[in-house]
Chain A
Amino acid sequence: MRIVLDLATSQIWTRPPVGIVRTEQRFGQFLLSRDDLEVAFCRYEKAGKRYVEIPRDDVRRMLHLDYQTPERDELADGPPAEPPPITASTPAHPTRLPVPGRRERLVGSIKRTGHGVIHRMPEPLRPQAREAFHAAKLFAKHSLAFGRDSARWMAQAARARRRGTGVPIGSTAGALPGPAGAGSFAFRPDDVYFSMGLDWEYNDLGALYAERKRIGFRTVLHCYDTIPVLLPHLMSFDARQHFARYFTDLAHAADRVAAISECSKQDFTRLMTELGGPTPPVDVAILGTEIDVPQARVKPPATRLAEREFVLCVSTIEARKNHEQLYHVWDRLAARHGDDTPLLVIVGMVGWGVGDLLFKMRTNPRMRNRVVIFDNLPDGELVWLYRNCLFTVFPSHYEGWGLPVVESLAFAKPCICSTAPAVLEAAHGMAEAIDPLDTPAWCAAIENLWRDAALRERIAAGLRDEFRPPTWQAHGERLLTIARRAAGEA
């Protein structure tokens, strides 16, 4: 058995890694650490409509293997590991490989510029601007794809006409790869192919299906959540149809599916049943929690924070995450306790559907100096916030997993979270769970935990004793088990 990991997302991604990118990179690191495994890396090249190999040295640089992963205890209490000495062959900072081509660079640049412009626009205009930008992206993407496919198809047709043979046509037929040509990744029948990146953006599951059928290798594909189909109204735009097709193709192309929680597993299975599609076996592989950061980089994001009591909420600021609830709670707390009210520190990018909320936070006199938002925070500063907060809150309406809850518990910080199924699953019964719409209950719980230091300490002690956070090592081992199952070895 050879493990083949698709690293297209990591290679193209240019922003700080989000959860999915981190997952892909962590499994790549895990595979590189295992000398007993035969491993290869590839990516899907959209322009060439084929899979290509990524050399192992490129993978090492891409996955930032500059310093070692600190142990969990070091993260929670002790000093994290220092980075290794910088040598002539090691860049001073983790560097990313150049993105594969001019096209990807150009697309990335346009996306960043677009998002930057939107971010600087007056808040009331942002939702519409975001919709318009998304529509323009789709239009440009499909126009280019149509032009490219048409040109390729016409060229193929002309050749086939001359030869008197047929050519495939149709929405994806032109994309079906033929036998691996020069430069294409050479899949083998004993391969187990893993993809855990942004496949709906950077992979072609139709092509993967055809390649798997041609060669006969096995595949393990990932399901983080089915929220775009399940709860399209909680997304920034209606991607229900797009993702329904994506999950359908995934179900056909996967020998096994790895879900990140029981909740996601059930949601995926339920969706495929509703669609009348295939239901491949689904295994759960819980994500790791460790945040790798040297002690020297652990510092407060703002010096004044070290002097204040604060409650932490880590999540992108968007409608689904339900920061609205926190606004109402802090508004009430401020009305009752005035200047004694603790600060609410939110760590996350400002997303969609929160224009009115941010306006209220900005203009409500009671909220003045009560909320701080940090965007694009380095891991070292995030670790500082986890270590120094009173406790954390996570009122999300729905999730595929509850990573901020697990991180909070790993830092032995009490957490008040929502009753969303995946969040409950992540909390393992060690966080106080409240209906995300029950404002009085949120208010009472937060007020109680803030005012009762002894209670916080008791919870923290219990977490230190009992909570065993999932590790990336365990995640990697679990995926290996799934690979063996896919290969028929287990």
Chain B
Amino acid sequence: MRVLQLTVYPIEQPRHGGQARCANMRAVLQSQGHEVRTLAVYEPEHYGGDAVGPHDIGFPGHSTYRKQALPLCVDYASGDFLAAADGARDHLVGVATAFEPDVLLLEHPWHWPAALHLQERLPTPPAIVYSSHNIEAPLKAAILTGFEPEAAARIVALIEARERALCAAADLCIAVTDTDADVLRGYGARTVIVASNGIVERRVDERHLRDWQWFLGGKRFALFVGSAYPPNAVGFWDMMGPSLAFLPPDERVLAVGGVCKLLVEHPAYLEWQGVNAARLETAGVQSEDALAVLLKLASCILLPITFGGGSNIKTAEAIFANRPVIGTTHSLRGYDFARRLPHVYCADDAAEYRRLVRLALDERLPAPEGADDPALRESVLWRHTLAGVPGAMAALRPRPGAAALLE
């Protein structure tokens, strides 16, 4: 089976959760013998070189479609760009015509107009699979809080319309949580399977471990890993705020990933910058090796997510790391089984959340009640979470339109 995968970012060198999901989806399909080709409509100012795949196409800043896009809505505009004659439509048609895909795998709803066009252009219309990462419309509404309300409402309505149209037309929808699956069904999806986000099993490199141990000097820290995704920073300050004054002078939060910039630009950080700067270390984007080591060395792992759709890949990493995890109902969504693990704690009240963080840093968390369950922890690996996808795709029958054309 040939699968043409459409994304809004290159996935050759995944940096954030969405990229990791797309890359692992491709890897799992390939591991089952399917041929997968990826076409990303990406922002060239953020990616280049080896990070870009052979079929990816840039969505340049000077494009009319980007200039017309609202702030934080370039993803939606990339769909218009990909479908437009004066955009990247010819490139898409060229790739698809040469590849003759059996399945068109959309990783986001943005590219639905282009997929629709492709259905009409290809002699054998491919099956449509929508792999939803989030329920995008409410998430975008939250992200656009504070923008001009009418413009925000307009774009949110357009996004929801696109999601609904795609769900109604898709042969298969893949959701990351049961909750999201219900929403997709409500949007008209006929067949929905749930495939949670997962992680790659990382090996801790001994040399890296020694270096980080030397660098950290046995100092206790709470680890927060997140991408430059606004809900990550908002959730952090919702649960850890109003400031980090609750941490004593010798305890720190170590933030890793693109979220660092958002954390220090957040109003809660700036309001009490003197206190926060002394208690929050920002390490920026780190290698996978470094991340594996930090997950192993952390006194606890923070998952302070309070809103946003989908399931958080960082949650899976935290669960697998077998270190104390301080999560929220929201951040553990899609991994509800993890609450059975003795090292996973959950608090939705900010004061209780901060209390658990302090206890973890002081190594005074209540003794776990149950025993560790390695099999349960390993269920978060991609090879397990996406295990049902290849079979579900293989079961897809040719689209009626295609059959009619063949006849």
A89 at the interface (CB under 8 A from B): no
Q: Are B214 and A206 in contact (CB under 8 A)?
A: no
**A244-B275, A252-B249 known; A274-B217 Cβ under 8 A:** no
* A245 x B248 contact (CB < 8 A): no
Which residues on the A side are within 8 Å of B216 (C-beta)? 166, 169
Q: B97 on the interface (CB 8 Å rule)?
A: no
Inter-subunit contact B242/A276 (CB<8 Å): yes
Are B275 and A248 touching (Cβ within 8 A)? yes
The minimal Cβ–Cβ distance linking A309 to chain B, given in whole angstroms, is: 48
Complex contacts, B272 vs chain A, CB 8 Å: 241, 244, 275
Is B281 touching A170 in the complex (CB atoms < 8 A)?
yes
Instruction: Please tell me if the beta carbons of B274 and A249 are within 8 angstroms of each other in the complex.
Output: no
Contact status A173-B217, CB under 8 Å: yes
Most-contacted residue by chain A among B218, B246, B274 (CB, 10 A): B274
Residues of A near B273 (CB, < 8 A) are 241
Within 8 Å of chain B (Cβ to Cβ): is A161?
yes
Alpha-carbon distance A157/B217, docked complex (angstroms): 10
Contact B250 A210 (CB under 8 A): yes
A244 to B246, CA, bound (A): 13
Given A205-B249, A276-B354, does the pair A242, B274 have CB atoms closer than 8 Å?
yes
Residues of B within 8 A of A251 (CB): 245
Which residues in A have their C-beta under 8 angstroms from that of B241? Answer: 276
User: Using an 8 Å CB-CB cutoff, how does the interface string of A270-291 with B read, 1 for contact, 0 for none?
Assistant: 0010111110000000000000
Is B67 an interface position by the 8 A CB rule?
no
B contact face: mostly helix, strand, loop, or mixed: mixed
Q: Is A26 an interface residue (CB 8 A)?
A: no
Q: B215, A169: Cβ atoms under 8 Å?
A: yes
Is A378 engaged at the interface, CB distance under 8 Å to the other chain? no
Tell me the smallest distance from the CB of B360 to a CB of chain A, in Å: 17
Q: Does B243 contact A (CB under 8 A)?
A: yes
Assess whether A168 is in contact with B219, with CB atoms less than 8 Å apart.
yes
| Total of A-B residue pairs, C-beta within 8 Å | 83
Which residue from chain B places its CB closest to the CB of A277 in the assembled complex? B245
- B213 in the interface (beta carbon within 8 A): yes
> Provided the pairs A160-B214, A275-B242 are in contact, do residues A172 and B249 lie with their beta carbons within 8 angstroms?
yes
Least distance between B220 CB and chain A CB atoms (Å): 11
The verdict on A252 contacting B248 (CB below 8 Å), with A166-B217, A168-B218 known, is yes
In whole angstroms, how far apart are the Cα atoms of A171 and B279 in the complex? Answer: 9
> A209 at the A/B interface (Cβ < 8 Å)?
yes
Interface size class of chain A, counting residues whose CB lies under 8 Å from the partner chain: 35 or more
Residues on B with C-beta less than 8 A from A169 are 215-217, 219
A278 to B274, CA, bound (A): 16
Q: Give the CA-CA distance A277 to B244 in the complex, in Å.
A: 8
Q: Does A31 contact B (CB under 8 A)?
A: no
Known: A171-B278, A241-B272, A275-B245. Is A166-B250 also a contact (CB below 8 A)? Answer: no
Chain A CB within 10 Å — which of B245, B272, B277 has the most?
B245
**In the bound complex, do residue B274 and residue A245 qualify as a contact, i.e. CB atoms below 8 Å apart?**
yes
B133 at the interface (CB under 8 A from A): no
A252–B279 alpha-carbon span in the complex (Å): 13
Q: How far is the CB of A237 from chain B (nearest CB, A)?
A: 14
- Whether B330 is near chain A, meaning CB under 8 Å from some CB there, is no
Q: Is A176 in contact with chain B by the CB < 8 A criterion?
A: yes
B216, B245, B249: most-surrounded residue (chain A CB, <10 A): B249
Residue B66 interfacial (CB < 8 Å): no
Within 8 A of B (CB), among A184-242: 205-206, 209-210, 213, 240-242
| Contact yes or no, A167 B243, CB < 8 A | no
Cα A274 to Cα B275 in complex, Å, equals: 12
Q: Are A275 and B249 CB-contacts (below 8 A) given A166-B214, A169-B216?
A: no
B-chain residues with CB within 8 Å of residue A210 when the two chains form the complex: 249-250
Cα–Cα distance between A251 and B216 once the two chains are bound (Å) = 26
Give Cα distance in the complex from A169 to B218, angstroms: 10
Shortest distance from the beta carbon of A345 to any chain B beta carbon, whole Å: 39
Q: A253 contacts the other chain (Cβ, under 8 Å)?
A: yes
Taking the nearest CB of chain B, how far is it from the CB of A86, in angstroms?
47
B242 touches A172 (CB 8 A): no
A251–B246 CA distance with the chains assembled, in angstroms = 10
Once the chains bind, are B219 and A170 in contact (CB under 8 Å)? yes
A28 to B248, CA, bound (A): 29
Question: Would you call B252 an interface residue if the criterion is a C-beta within 8 Å of the partner chain's C-beta atoms?
Answer: yes
1/0 per residue, CB under 8 A from A, across B200-221: the answer is 0000000000000111111100
Set B214, B246, B278: member contacting A276, Cβ < 8 A: B246
Say whether A245 contacts B278, CB under 8 Å.
yes
B window 240-297: CB within 8 A of A: 241-243, 245-246, 248-250, 252, 272-275, 277-278, 281
A276 touches B274 (CB 8 A): no
Residues of chain B with a CB closer than 8 A to A240's CB: 274
B250 touches A209 (CB 8 A): yes
Tell which of B214, B215, B217, B354 has the most Cβ of chain A within 10 Å.
Answer: B217
Query: From B252, which residue of chain A is reached at the shortest CB distance?
Result: A170
Interface residues of B in 336-369 (CB under 8 A from A): 354
**Considering only CB atoms, which chain B residue lies closest to A166 in the complex?**
B217
Q: Do B213 and A166 have beta carbons less than 8 Å apart?
A: yes
With both beta carbons as reference points, the residue of chain B lying nearest to A161 in the complex is identified as B214
Contact B214 A253, beta carbon cutoff 8 Å:
no
Name the A residues within 8 Å of B277 (CB-CB): 171
Query: Across the interface, do B249 and A209 meet the contact criterion of CB distance under 8 Å?
Result: yes
User: How far apart sit A173 and B218, CA to CA, in the bound complex (Å)?
Assistant: 11
Please measure, in the bound complex, the distance between the C-alpha atom of A272 and the C-alpha atom of B215, giving whole angstroms. 32
Chain B residues within 8 Å of A243, by CB: 274
- Give the residues in chain B near A277, CB-CB below 8 Å: 243, 245-246, 275
In the docked arrangement, what's the CA distance between A167 and B216, Å? 7
- Shortest distance from the beta carbon of B362 to any chain A beta carbon, whole Å: 10
Contacts of A160 in B (CB 8 A): 214, 217
Residues of the A chain whose Cβ atoms lie less than 8 Å from the Cβ of B245: 244, 248, 251, 272, 275-278
Known contacts A166-B213, A168-B217, A275-B272, then 15 further A-B pairs from the complex at CB < 8 Å, ordered by chain A residue: A157-B214, A172-B249, A172-B278, A205-B249, A210-B249, A243-B274, A244-B245, A244-B274, A248-B243, A248-B245, A248-B275, A274-B242, A275-B245, A276-B242, A278-B246
23 chain-A/chain-B pairs, Cβ below 8 angstroms = A166-B216, A168-B218, A168-B219, A169-B217, A170-B252, A171-B278, A172-B250, A172-B278, A173-B217, A240-B274, A241-B273, A241-B274, A241-B275, A243-B274, A244-B272, A244-B275, A274-B242, A276-B242, A276-B245, A276-B354, A277-B245, A277-B246, A277-B275
Closest A-B pairs by Cβ, 6 of them: A241-B274, A277-B245, A206-B249, A275-B245, A166-B217, A168-B217
Chain B interface (Cβ < 8 Å from any Cβ of A): 213-219, 241-243, 245-246, 248-250, 252, 272-275, 277-278, 281, 354
